[in-house]
Chain A
Amino acid sequence: MNRFFGFVKKEFQHIFRDMRTLLILFGLPIVMIILFGFVVTTEIRDVEVGIWDRSMDQASIRATQKIFSSGYFVPAGYIDHEEEIGDLFRSGRAKVVVVFEEGFERNLRRENHAAIKLITDASDANTAQLSLTYLQGVLMTYFQSVNQDVEMPWSVNMKSRMFYNEEMKGVYMFVPGLMALILMLISALMTSVTITREKEFGTMELLLASPLKPREIILGKVTPYVLLSFTNAMTIVLLGFLVFDVPVKGSLWLLMLECMLYITLALSLGVLISTSAKTQQMAMFMSMLGLMLPTILLSGFIFPIDNMPKVLQWFSTIMPARWFIVVVKNIMLKGTGFAFIWKETLIMLGMTLFFILASVKRFKIRLN
């Protein structure tokens, strides 16, 4: 047992003496979560809106005021020609133009029907789509409040609520996704690199020729990363809570256990990579291209899985992160218990087992 601890100690020394490793281990998670939390959001803020008010009556002016007092939009000025819409978009002064038809209030009163045209600069499709949704929301709420007393026989009163994320906060999406990404990065990438480093420097031969058993070598190498990854996972949860108010509604213990499972999964994947990569560069390349990109693109972290082509949807089922994200969202945001995530847990367990068995098999081939 002593020889094992000596070996683990050495692994910690490697980590704490290498500035680059330290930066990736401790700097990266914090920088990523702050960046994602503040910069990459699905909310809109201060979108410039131009107004083409062709009636300039009380109703249209009120509606305009409502738009700018909502907090999402800032005025980009009034225009009075159709050509100016293009000017606004091309010069980038406005992302959206709201057009009130002529005689807006009169039509509203007489025919109970008036038209507003919303024109967006869709060269940035995301902002355009979001702005439209927000604008429609603002205007709907306003006109509904105006018409409250007027009882219309066939009017449908629609109300929507966003369960588990009432304010539609982007960070709610990113905290689980980032956990999946960062843990995959640290566990899989770092272990595959540190193991191939021993191969590259020839120290692996020495270890294999020593009384240390191969499983002791691998365990000794991954143990520090298990501890550090776990610390990282908890840091992310804590940061999410303190800085972005992302709650942990379910059991923290369950969350920790699932994190451990996912870390083990990522580590076994890292070990598997290291059995086929000959150099550190190779290992890094394989982890980056083979793990990072698919994790970002196909796990549902950024792009919804349901909107993907069928082939990619199937492909996404072999991404460990996909299942982990579901689990984390369930525990953190919905507060569900194990009964609702046993399937995902089982899948991750199966993957872990598969990667470990595959690594052992590849390792044996190498010896023969």
Chain B
Amino acid sequence: MSKREHIIEVKDMVKKFGSFTANDRLTFHVERGEIFGFLGANGAGKTTAMRILCGLSYPTSGEIYVAGHNVYRERERIKKKIGYMSQKFSLYEDLTVSENIRLYAGIYGLGRKQIASREEQLLDRLGLTYIRSRLIREVPLGWKQKLAFSVAIFHQPAVVFLDEPTGGVDPITRRQFWEMIHDATEEGITVFVTTHYMDEAEYCDRVSIMVDGRIDALDTPAALKQQFDSKNMNEVFLKLARL
């Protein structure tokens, strides 16, 4: 496998907060176009690692490349090529659906015409055209989440980072949301997703499982289940956590 196809390349990444080691020599790569699940219990260090990859925080040490750029020196370039969606589906509550889309599109440097046509497409696909001028605070949570994801990939980034994107939404909406994620990969977008719902791991092409700041397992869901002799990912996770 050539290095070009590794959209994220991480070698010996360490992040320390004082004497506490949040990420202990993480080494992994993410291939272009795959859904990479980043699993672990709360406090295992998932979010810390993801923040470093997004340029929100500096690593203590390690060699890290995102979309071919060095995280120490080329953050600005990285930021143009990535999308990010936080746990809170962060859209502006006092702006309308359409204003939110245009704001983020503008921040990512899209032109006015480009924004207009893509906005139509997007609202059409989501079936949200009729609420485009409604304030976000009046939009139900499930739609907010879908919209936040659509906004995060509106500028067609090389890789999108999703930080626990399904918190607090119902199972049906979660299912629909994962369908959207699959659709995004068809467009060539790589998806890096953290979650602590183990059933969601089944939707990923490959998953890594973090325990106490280290990656304890990394493979396809099928291979992991076989390796740990488990029926589902939840069992895999429990066995790992007990070790």
Contact residues in B for A10 (Cβ distance below 8 Å): 92, 95, 99, 103
Pick the residue among A17, A202, A203, A212 that contacts B87 (CB under 8 A): A202
- Give the chain A neighbours of B103 by CB distance below 8 A: 6-7, 10
Q: How far is the CA of A13 from the CA of B92 in the complex (A)?
A: 11
- Whether B84 pairs with A209 at a CB distance below 8 angstroms is yes
**Interface of chain B residues 18 through 74 with chain A (CB within 8 A):** 54-58
Find chain A residues with CB under 8 A from B82 CB.
209
Is B168 at the interface (CB under 8 A from chain A)? no
Cβ–Cβ contact B106 & A2, under 8 A = yes
A7 pairs with B107, CB closer than 8 A: yes
Chain A residues lying within 8 Å of B133, measured Cβ to Cβ, are: none
Whether A207 pairs with B56 at a CB distance below 8 angstroms is: no
The answer to whether A203 and B106 have CB atoms under 8 Å apart is no
A211 pairs with B88, CB closer than 8 A: no
B101-123 CB contact bits vs A (8 Å, 1 = yes)? 01110111100000000000000
Q: Quick check: B58 and A207 within 8 Å, CB to CB?
A: no
Known: A14-B92, A211-B80. 15 other contacts (CB 8 A): A3-B106, A7-B106, A10-B103, A13-B99, A17-B94, A201-B88, A203-B92, A206-B85, A206-B86, A207-B107, A209-B161, A210-B79, A210-B107, A211-B79, A213-B76
The answer to whether A368 touches B90 (Cβ under 8 A) is no
- C-alpha gap A315/B104 in the complex (Å): 45
B107 to A6, Cβ gap below 8 A? yes
Contacts of A209 in B (CB 8 A): 54-56, 79, 82, 84, 161
Give bound CA distance, A368 to B58, whole Å. 5
Q: For chain A, what secondary structure do more than half of its interface residues adopt (helix, strand, loop), or is it mixed?
A: helix
What residue of chain A has the Cβ atom nearest to residue B82's Cβ? A209
For A217, the closest partner residue in chain B by CB is B107
- Interface residue? A205 (CB, 8 A): yes
Residues of A within 8 A of B109 (CB): 2-3, 211
10 CB-based A-B contacts, threshold 8 Å: A3-B106, A3-B108, A7-B107, A10-B99, A10-B103, A13-B94, A205-B56, A207-B107, A211-B108, A213-B76
Closest residue of chain B to A17, judged by CB?
B94
Among B57, B80, B95, contact of A367 (Cβ-Cβ < 8 Å):
B57
Chain B residue contacts of A367, Cβ below 8 A: 56-58
Q: With A and B bound together, what is the CA distance between A6 and B104 in angstroms?
A: 9
Q: In the assembly, what is the distance between CA of A325 and CA of B109, in Å?
A: 44
The CA-CA distance from A26 to B117 in the complex, in Å, is 39
Q: When each residue 190-203 of chain A gets 1 if its CB lies under 8 Å from chain B and 0 otherwise, what string results?
A: 00000000000111
Q: Whole-angstrom distance from the CB of A366 to the nearest CB of chain B?
A: 9
Give B residues with C-beta under 8 Å from A: 54-58, 76, 79-80, 82, 84-88, 90-95, 99, 102-104, 106-109, 161
> Which of B56, B57, B85, B93 is in CB contact (< 8 Å) with A201?
B93
Q: Across the interface, do B79 and A206 meet the contact criterion of CB distance under 8 Å?
A: no
Q: Which residue of A lies closest to B163 (CB)?
A: A205
Q: Evaluate contact between A201 and B90: CB separation under 8 angstroms.
A: yes
Q: How far is the CA of A59 from the CA of B173 in the complex (A)?
A: 96
Report chain B residues within 8 Å CB of A202: 86-88, 90
Residue of A7, A209, A211, A212 with most partner-chain B CB within 10 A: A209
Report how far A110 CA is from B82 CA in the complex, Å. Answer: 101
Min C-beta distance of A155 to chain B, whole Å: 73
Q: How would residues 330 to 352 of chain A score, 1 for a CB under 8 Å from any chain B CB and 0 otherwise?
A: 00000000000000000000000
Cβ-based interface call for A18 (8 A) = yes
Residue pair A368, B57 in contact (C-beta under 8 Å):
yes
Residues of B within 8 A of A13 (CB): 94-95, 99
In the bound assembly, the distance between CA atoms of A207 and B56 in angstroms comes to: 10
Chain B residues, CB < 8 A from A211: 76, 79-80, 107-109
Select from chain B the residue with minimum beta-carbon distance to A13: B95
Taking the closest CB of chain A, its distance from the CB of B169, in whole angstroms, is 16
Q: List, in ascending order, chain A residues with CB within 8 A of B88's CB.
A: 201-202
A208 contacts B by Cβ under 8 Å: yes
Give the distance in Å from the alpha carbon of A215 to the alpha carbon of B82 in the complex. 20
Query: A326–B161 Cα gap in the complex (Å)?
Result: 53
Give the shortest distance, in Å, between B14 (CB) and chain A (any CB): 13
Q: Are B106 and A206 in contact (CB under 8 A)?
A: no
A205 to B94, CA, bound (A): 18
